[in-house]
Structure 1
Amino acid sequence: MLAILGFLMILSFMILIMTKRLSAMIALMVVPVIFALIGGFGKEMGPMALDGIKSVAPTGIMILFAILFFGIMIDAGVFDPVIRTILKVVKGDPVKIAIGTAALALFISLDGDGTTTYMITISAMLPLYKRIGMRPLVLAGLAVSASGVMNLLPWGGPTARAMTALNLEMGDIFTPVIPAMAGGILFVLFMAYCLGRKERKRIGVLEIDYSTMAMTAAASEDDGLKRPKLILVNYFLTIMLLVALIKELLPTTVLFMVGFAIAITINYPNLKEQKERVMHYADNALSVVSMVFAAGIFTGILTGTEMVDAMSNVMITHIPDFLGSHFAIFTAVISAPFTFFMSNDAFYYGVLPLLAKAASVYGIDPAFIGRASLLGQPVHLLSPLVPSTYLLVGMVGEDFGDLQRLVLKWACGSTLVMIVVAVIFAIIPF
């Protein structure tokens, strides 16, 4: 019964947001409450939802101050040289712009943090997309696709969870998967080429003065806000923040809070200017952060009612015997829907050990199952349970359902390519 309720809840949510009957934020709050009441969890529903909100609170706060930090960097003109350089290279061609976007996102994703990737990529590229006339949705799709592949890095989260859950080392799980990641990277660049060609067919190649365009496609509309004399200081501050994030010197939330405090004090020491800058980004920050807390209600009820556990058990117990010898392939395939419908924590700490135990019956090493479990990550980032994706759609001003419709088939393609490469290179057994 719980499993059925869980599947129906997720299905109802997806239908409501993809058909635009409800906004994602409203659906995240209303749908789980309704199904919790149907399941008879009325009395426990409040604490469950509150636990979920508490679990996403650090992420919500981090996103809030990340928006403010990078907003200050945008206003100060930090990304203007990047935009001008890219403009000189792409020369108004949507295909080159799309490929450049994918390459930039892939490079920035080396820090393993989707939020940072989105903040920098969108901040640098969105003005260019608007100036050229390309759809911002394409920009968001390329950013999330690049992050989906690079999310396999050991410090990105899923790999660390898999290693912990199976008590294995990085050499057992991540290092062998690198060729599959390379295949995924090439597919993302291919995706960028295809989407770029569609945009080129729609808007053509602009024949304009690129030097003028480079000057006008600035990240900040108000030249009075730019701080060219502080650009080296701002670059140093941004790089130091990224290094601190990668090395985890402090919790991510604290780093962004301190980084924002330093950035706004250096660039806009006047209190009136500080208030204006915060107010300028308040609308975007509120819409994104409120979505994160709404997702907390969804995950809190899904976990607290044990619907997620019931769904996992149902799916695992219905594995046909003939798939036993192909268990690694099976794990790779189901890792996409599993991590789409549940959090990475729930999958890697709850489901993965069960899959590894079941595979051992057929003589399959747990390391193979751990590697296979990572290959569905491109699909995972399109899940409504991933807070950073709400930041992404909020920054480009697009709808979550539209992003899913555009990218989901490409994300499945990335997963398929990585699985094929993994089989060819014997990363996982066929």
Structure 2
Amino acid sequence: MITFLGIAMVVVFTYSIMAKKLSPVTALVIVPVIFAVIGGFGLELGEMMLNGLKEVAPSAALLLFAILFFGILIDAGLFDPLINKMMKLVKGDPVKIAIGTAIIAMTVALDGDGTTTHMITISAMLPLYLRIGMNPLVLATISLLSISVMSGMTPWGGPATRAIASLGLDANEFFLPLLPTMFSGMVCILFVAYILGKMERAKIGAIEIEFSPHSLALNEVAYTLQDGIKRPKLRWLNLILTITVMVVLVMGLMPVPILFMLGFVIAAIMNYPDLEQQKERILYHAGNALTVVILVFAAGIFSGIFSGTKMVDAISNLLVSVIPESVGSYFPVAVALTSMPITFVLSNDAYYFGVLPILAQAGAAYGVSPLEIARASVLGQPVHFLSPLVASTLLLVGMVKTDIGELQRYAFKWTLLCSLVMIVIAIVTGAII
């Protein structure tokens, strides 16, 4: 019964978002509540939902202050030189713009943090996309693919870190055999960027832009307003602040929400010491921040109920039980393939700490190394990052001013392609078999 309810809940939830029957926030809250009541968990709902909120509270705080931190730096013009340089190089060609986006996003994504990657990539490139009329979903897709590959496999990225910790593995033994697979993912991202750029070029052509800082603004009024809040004299101080925050982030010297809160406060005081102007800048970004934080808390409700009702355990046990012994030696391939749908409906914490140990135990019965299971588990990350349960993806759709359903419909085939390419290369190179 619990297994059936869990599967039905996932199906209804996914359909309601992709078909635009419900908004993401409504679906994340209402759908699991209804199915929990049907399953007889009505009296326990409050505690489950509260536990879910507690789980995502740090993520919500992180996103709130990260949005405000990078928003202040964007307003001050920190990324203008990067945008200007990119404008000169690509000269309005959608193919070059898309490939340039991929290179920037993959480079930034090396720190393993999706929020940082999206904030920098989207902030740097979105004005250019809007200026020449390119679809912002191209930008969103490339940024999402970049973080899913670079963060998914590097030992300091979230998914790999969880897999290594969950199964007690050595980071080098996990990562080194995956290097060819990660490189194949990077090549796939560049290929997708090229194809999407070609599609955009076919629609809008190569736009000849006479370069000037004004060309990035949608109109002269917008440029004048932007110019009034730029802080070119503080650019080096802002860069030092940003690098410091990134170094502390990578080294893990401080809880990330606290780090971004301090970074935001310092950036605000340094760039806008006038209290009225500081207030204006905060209010300007508050709408985007609030939308993302609400979605994160709604995602916490979903995951809290999904875990509290044991639906996640029931579905994972069903998965293990239906895999026939005859395919035991190919168990890592099954893990890689099933990681796509399972991580789409589960948070990484739920999958890597709840489901992965079960899969590793089942694999051991077939003589499969936990290392192979762990490597296989990260290959579905491109599809996972399309999930509305991923906080950085909620930030992404907010920044490009679309909704999660639009992004899913546009990007799904490309995320699936990258996952399948990496699975094939992982098999060929012996990383998972």
TM-score normalised per structure 2: 0.97
CA shift for structure 1 position 107? 0.4
Tell me whether 68-77 or 361-370 shows the greater mean CA deviation.
361-370
Which residue in 2 is equivalent to 1:319? Answer: 323
Which residue in 1 is equivalent to 2:263? Answer: 259
CA contact (8 A) 2:128 2:216 kept: no
Which residue in 1 is equivalent to 2:432? Answer: 428
CA contact (8 A) 2:214 2:223 kept: no
Residues in 2 aligned to 1:165 and 1:288: alpha-carbon distance in whole angstroms: 29
CA contact (8 A) 1:75 1:219 kept: no
Which amino acid in 1 is paired with 2:36? Answer: A
Which residue in 1 is equivalent to 2:364? Answer: 360
Which residue in 2 is equivalent to 1:102? Answer: 102
CA contact (8 A) 1:284 1:394 kept: yes
Which residue in 2 is equivalent to 1:309? Answer: 313
SS in 2 for 1:30: helix
CA shift for structure 1 position 210? 2.3
Residues in 1 aligned to 2:171 and 2:157: alpha-carbon distance in whole angstroms: 13
CA contact (8 A) 2:72 2:267 kept: yes
CA shift for structure 1 position 195? 0.6
Residues in 1 aligned to 2:211 and 2:19: alpha-carbon distance in whole angstroms: 40
Residues in 1 aligned to 2:214 and 2:68: alpha-carbon distance in whole angstroms: 27
Residues in 2 aligned to 1:231 and 1:214: alpha-carbon distance in whole angstroms: 21
Which amino acid in 1 is paired with 2:164? Answer: M
CA contact (8 A) 2:82 2:124 kept: yes
CA contact (8 A) 2:101 2:125 kept: yes
Which residue in 2 is equivalent to 1:134? Answer: 134
User: Does 2:237 align with 1:233?
Assistant: yes
Which residue in 2 is equivalent to 1:408? Answer: 412
Which amino acid in 2 is paired with 1:337? Answer: P
Which residue in 2 is equivalent to 1:92? Answer: 92
Residues in 1 aligned to 2:171 and 2:426: alpha-carbon distance in whole angstroms: 17
Q: How does 1:205-284 map to 2 (within 5 A)?
A: 205-211=206-212, 216=217, 221-284=225-288
Tell me whether 246-255 or 358-367 shows the greater mean CA deviation.
358-367
Which residue in 1 is equivalent to 2:157? Answer: 156
Residue deviations 1:59-98, cap 9 Å, x none? 1111011111111011101111110000111110001101
Which residue in 2 is equivalent to 1:196? Answer: 197
Which amino acid in 2 is paired with 1:51? Answer: N
Which amino acid in 2 is paired with 1:365? Answer: S
Residue deviations 1:376-401, cap 9 Å, x none? 11111111211111000001101101
Residues in 2 aligned to 1:121 and 1:207: alpha-carbon distance in whole angstroms: 23
Which amino acid in 1 is paired with 2:54? Answer: K
Unaligned runs of 5+ in 1: none
SS in 2 for 1:385: coil
SS in 2 for 1:225: coil
2:339 corresponds to which of 299, 311, 335:
335
Unaligned runs of 5+ in 2: none
Which amino acid in 1 is paired with 2:84? Answer: R
> Between Structure 1 and Structure 2, how many residues are aligned?
429
Which amino acid in 2 is paired with 1:128? Answer: L
SS in 2 for 1:118: helix
CA shift for structure 1 position 208? 2.7
CA shift for structure 1 position 361? 2.1
User: Does 2:350 align with 1:349?
Assistant: no
Residues in 2 aligned to 1:27 and 1:96: alpha-carbon distance in whole angstroms: 38
Residues in 1 aligned to 2:369 and 2:288: alpha-carbon distance in whole angstroms: 47
User: Does 2:177 align with 1:173?
Assistant: no
Tell me whether 152-161 or 197-206 shows the greater mean CA deviation.
152-161
Which residue in 1 is equivalent to 2:143? Answer: 143
Which amino acid in 1 is paired with 2:162? Answer: R
CA contact (8 A) 2:209 2:215 kept: no
CA contact (8 A) 1:77 1:219 kept: no
Tell me whether 220-229 or 36-45 shows the greater mean CA deviation.
220-229
CA shift for structure 1 position 220? 9.0
Residues in 2 aligned to 1:140 and 1:227: alpha-carbon distance in whole angstroms: 28
Which residue in 2 is equivalent to 1:80? Answer: 80
Residues in 2 aligned to 1:170 and 1:398: alpha-carbon distance in whole angstroms: 37
Identify if the C-alpha distance between structure 1 residues 219 and 113 changes in structure 2 by more than 3 Å, giving closer, same or farther. farther
CA contact (8 A) 1:76 1:220 kept: no
Deviating 4+ runs (over 3 angstroms): 211-221
User: Does 2:37 align with 1:37?
Assistant: yes
CA contact (8 A) 2:28 2:299 kept: yes
User: Does 2:126 align with 1:122?
Assistant: no
CA contact (8 A) 1:115 1:388 kept: yes
Which residue in 1 is equivalent to 2:299? Answer: 295
Which residue in 1 is equivalent to 2:112? Answer: 112
Tell me whether 292-301 or 209-218 shows the greater mean CA deviation.
209-218
CA contact (8 A) 1:166 1:353 kept: yes
Identify if the C-alpha distance between structure 1 residues 52 and 93 changes in structure 2 by more than 3 Å, giving closer, same or farther. same
Residues in 2 aligned to 1:35 and 1:351: alpha-carbon distance in whole angstroms: 21
Which amino acid in 1 is paired with 2:195? Answer: C
